[in-house]
Chain A
Amino acid sequence: MATAVTGLRDWALASATRGLSVVDRALNEEDIRLAITGLSGAGKTVFLTSLIANLLAMAQGRATLPALQAVLDRHGGGRLRGVRLVPPGAGATPPFDIAAKLADLAGDSPHWPARTDHLAEIALELEIGPRGGMLGQMRGFVGVRRLRLRLLDYPGEWLLDLPMLGQGFSAWSRETLALLRQSPRAEAARPFLDYLGQIDGRRQAEEALVRRGHRLYREALARAQAEHGLRWLQPGRFLAPGPGVEQPFLWFFPIEGAGGPGSMIALMSRRFEAYRADMRSRLEALRGFDRRIVLVDVLGALAAGRAAFEDTERAIAAIGAALGGGRWFGRAAQVAFVATKADHVPELERANLRELLKSMAESGAGSGAGPVAGASFHVAAAIVSTTDGWADRPDGQREDVVWGRVLGEAAPRAYRVGSVPIRQPPAGFWSGRSFRLPIFTPPSIDPSGATGVPHLGLDTLLADVIGDRL
């Protein structure tokens, strides 16, 4: 009898728990999906790290994100009950290793996290108390809301592939090669272009020759990116291959002409088709991420010279068009463009940076993409590594500068970029030279994470992007 009762009780408890936790999840759990994208080096990883560190510190009672706090406090104080990291479930997306990133930044010798060449996901759970007022209090009886902020670090290079979806192999090859033969791409791609002259794509496919061409093309892309700051480079997976071993369908390169069955061209156009299919599945990762942040290293592009700037402009416009278009679950996706690394310029120039970003995204030299609907524009520095100030030059002129310690040096130096134009600069602006932004040492950060990370503008950005759901 007793065991029957306990058995009945256990069964009732188990099934009730199961049923009620389903109800609880339905009532109290919500998802916000926020994709962070941008071309390589735009600062995605650093941005995510700072965002998470500051949210965690905010939950521990520090005003690290004042504007976001103000949004929360609009409906009553102390509503953020806690923030925690959600352990990865059974998904296939590689997790974003926040602990390792923080260890890089907060260690004894602070340094920037390494490059990432694939997407990564992480989720935070924000426990948010009820709003004030009668309705809010009544909502409180149902439980504390658990807002899951799912964050995705998505390589912007993959979005540059989007125009390829509408092209066949020969059309793509023609367009790509025409661009590749222009300076400064031609200099970067010299060995590849020379190789193209030595082979005939209509002949029998020789795997070794295809692989060599592929390798040379890939090297050309990497050189164009690293040495000339170019950004409009396809296919994106050649630069950001993603995790795991390489699939054979990656092994192609642009080549003109038409070939019969069994020819080199036929093989590569089959691979091209497979690449496009893979690309579609890769874009699937973005499904449901209806809020997107596009990070742009505007300053880096500006400093790298005219070709790099225009290339970035084109790439940004393409990314904006890819993200802004389409409706997800009946709602237009929101896109926020952010000019990153704003700590490289003094305060006066930061507003210009935003204006410049806006005109970059809206014009998109030659890409034909119109302005992105519903886009907003911001400036931010995820981790402020400099101090605003001024410096007197030997000729007595005073300049607005930022003071920062270059990585590996002992003393801070005064750095100035010059005036940031507010829209596409005229031809006379370009000096014909290409500069690189210095890499400043990140500030030392409290390793316990209690005080967050110094940033600029992350809070207003977040308030704008997710504020409506708090």
Chain B
Amino acid sequence: MSGFRPGFSDEPPPPQREPVLEPGFVETTTPAPAAPDWSPASTAPPATGVGALGWIAGGLCLLLGGSLVMSMIGFAMDQMARSPTLGFVTLGVQAAAVLALGAGAGMELRAWRRLRLVDGLRLALTDPAMPLETARAAAIDWLDLLGARLPEVAITRQALLDCTSIAELRAMLDHRAIAPLQEQSRRAGERAGLQGAALVAIAPSPALDGLVAGVRGLVLLREVAAIHGLRPGLSVTIGLLRRVAHTALGVAAVDVAAASAADYALGAMPGVKHIAAAVPGAGLTARRLYRLALAVAEACSPRGDFTR
């Protein structure tokens, strides 16, 4: 709007500004515009809501659960009508069953909370805006959860208390807690690999290889979770499986060197070497289980894939 002033040459020219550079502030009563928002869009794919399958599953559960409760009540009332003694016995049995269910659910809930604690610590360690004390408290909570699974917990706790920055806290946690746990998990993975290879070797049919690997894998996952102070209940196991699926790709690629080293080492062990030579699937099963151990360890530890 400043330099461009079209017009006819026989009309008086519009007032011209000198082509001189005179930077400065403009005196004006125009109000300042609002600063534009800098909020770059998220590139993550949109979250998928509850799909049709979700609704169907929910409906089925409701149907089953509801009819179970209704039939329990109906049954108890029937018995009551037959004889009060029988009725009270039925009620007692039912109450005991509900209590057992409740206790189980409570344990599941507590186990799930522990997993959330790990997630919370992971977040605290990566968020630069997190105050040091909050992160430290989360780290100590996590350490308490590990309890005796770590050597020299008292020294580790003091070391964490002495850290003066989040970066130090992160490094110290890695140094004194996560690395030993990772080492334990690695050993569990090796053990599982060896056993898996042996099991595959004696399996009557190659079709069972996958089953063997799957079952031993599930056991391994629970072992590694326990190493990390988690109680591997149903919900935690499922939660971990999901996480592992998420991180497995990264682990597989990043630890290509380590995992291939494991192949090599497993191959160099007298047991596996011979089994692997004789039974084609055995080496592969061993390798898969070893990698699974690494992936689960990553999913269970508060540094997650930020460890590197």
Contact = CB atoms under 8 A, between A and B. Distances in A.
Contact of A418 (B21, B27, B250): B21
Contacts of B24: 415-416, 435
Contacts of B29: 392
Nearest to B250: A81
A398 interface: yes
Given A16-B264, A451-B40, A430 B128 contact: no
B268 A412 contact: no
B260 A20 contact: yes
Interface string A59-81: 00111100001000000001001
Nearest to B41: A63
A57 interface: yes
B308 A447 contact: no
A78 B260 CA distance: 26
Contacts of B23: 303, 415-418, 435, 437
B265 A392 contact: no
Interface string B290-308: 0000000000000001001
23 contacts: A9-B268, A12-B265, A13-B264, A16-B265, A17-B257, A20-B258, A57-B40, A61-B42, A62-B42, A63-B41, A144-B250, A387-B34, A389-B30, A389-B33, A392-B29, A394-B27, A394-B28, A399-B2, A415-B24, A415-B26, A416-B25, A435-B21, A435-B24
A365 interface: no
Contacts of B43: 58, 61-63, 69
Contacts of B305: 82
B220 to A, nearest CB: 19
Contact of B22 (A58, A390, A418, A438): A418
A390 B36 contact: no
B269 interface: yes
Interface in A358-413: 384, 387, 389-394, 397-401, 403, 411-413
Contacts of B268: 8-9, 12
B38 A443 contact: yes
Interface string B1-21: 111000000000000000111
Interface string A414-455: 111111000001001111010101100001000111011110
Given A5-B270, A414-B25, A428-B19, A17 B261 contact: yes
Contacts of B205: none
Given A5-B269, A9-B269, A16-B261, 20 more contacts: A8-B268, A13-B262, A58-B43, A62-B43, A63-B43, A84-B308, A143-B254, A144-B253, A387-B33, A392-B28, A412-B32, A413-B25, A413-B26, A414-B30, A415-B26, A416-B25, A417-B23, A418-B21, A418-B22, A451-B39
A24 interface: yes
Interface residues on A, range: 35 or more
A21 interface: yes
B63 interface: no
Contacts of B3: 419
Interface centre among A391, A415, A451 (most CB of B within 10 A): A391
The B interface is mostly helix, strand or loop, or mixed, namely loop
B53 interface: no
Interface residues of B, number: 47
Contacts of B25: 413-416, 438
A144 B253 CA distance: 6
A302 interface: yes
B27 A23 contact: no
A393 B28 contact: yes
B218 to A, nearest CB: 26
B40 A387 contact: no
Given A5-B270, A8-B268, A429 B21 contact: yes
Interface in B116-169: 127-129
B120 to A, nearest CB: 16
Nearest to A417: B23
Contacts of A142: 256
Nearest to A447: B129
B35 interface: yes
A62 B261 contact: no
Contact of A419 (B2, B262, B265): B2
Contacts of A392: 28-30
Interface in A153-195: none
B44 interface: yes
B258 A17 contact: yes
Contact of A398 (B1, B40, B45, B127): B1
A84 B250 CA distance: 14
A20 B40 CA distance: 40
Contacts of B34: 387
Nearest to B33: A389
A435 B22 contact: yes
Given A16-B261, A428-B19, A443-B35, A63 B30 contact: no
A387 B38 CA distance: 11
Interface in B32-64: 32-36, 38-45
A16 B44 CA distance: 38
Nearest to B263: A16
B2 A400 contact: yes
Interface string A11-40: 011001100110110001000000000000
A448 B25 CA distance: 34
B257 A387 contact: no
Nearest to B36: A387
Contacts of B39: 451
B127 A448 contact: yes
Nearest to B34: A387
Contacts of A400: 1-2
Contact of A143 (B22, B41, B256, B269): B256
Contact of A454 (B38, B42, B260, B265): B38
Contacts of A413: 25-26, 32
B55 to A, nearest CB: 28
Interface centre among B40, B254, B260 (most CB of A within 10 A): B40
A389 to B, nearest CB: 4
Contacts of A69: 43
Interface in B242-258: 250, 253-254, 256-258
Contacts of B22: 418, 431, 433, 435
A376 to B, nearest CB: 25
Contacts of A429: 19-21
A12 B256 CA distance: 16
Contacts of B38: 384, 443, 451-454
